[in-house]
């Protein structure tokens, strides 16, 4: 059984974090756009910005966490 490389673990962490962050950001952005009554097509822009921002932050933190755990053997 081959061990995963550190790069593969970090990449997987970033991908999973981006997916989770994107989902959370989309839900939160939609809620905020409706709550603040953002007009027309600006809703799509607002939701997109929230989605991408959340995906980037979650991906960054999960990637960093994977990198920290890379050197530990359990």
pLDDT in tens, 30-45: 999 999 999 999 999 9
Residue 3 covered by a domain: no
Would you state the pLDDT for residue 1? 38
Specify the pTM.
Answer: 0.86
Give per-residue burial for 43-72: e unless 16+ CB within 10 Å, then b: beebbeebbbebbbebbeebbeebeeebee
Would you state the pLDDT for residue 47? 96
- Whether 24 shows a pLDDT value over 50: the answer reads yes
Residue 64 covered by a domain: yes
pLDDT in tens, 1-13: 356 789 999 999 9
> Residue 38 is part of which domain span?
8-69
Residue 2 covered by a domain: no
- Whether 52 shows a pLDDT value over 90: the answer reads yes
Number of domains making up the chain? 1
Residue 25 covered by a domain: yes
């Amino acid at each position: 059984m081959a061990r995963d490389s550190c790069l593969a673990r970090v990449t997987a962490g970033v991908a999973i974090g981006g997916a989770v962050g994107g989902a959370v950001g989309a839900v939160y952005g939609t809620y905020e756009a409706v709550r603040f009554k953002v007009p027309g097509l600006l809703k799509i822009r607002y939701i997109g910005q929230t989605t991408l921002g959340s995906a980037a932050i979650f991906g960054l933190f999960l990637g960093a966490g994977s990198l920290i755990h890379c050197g530990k053997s359990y």
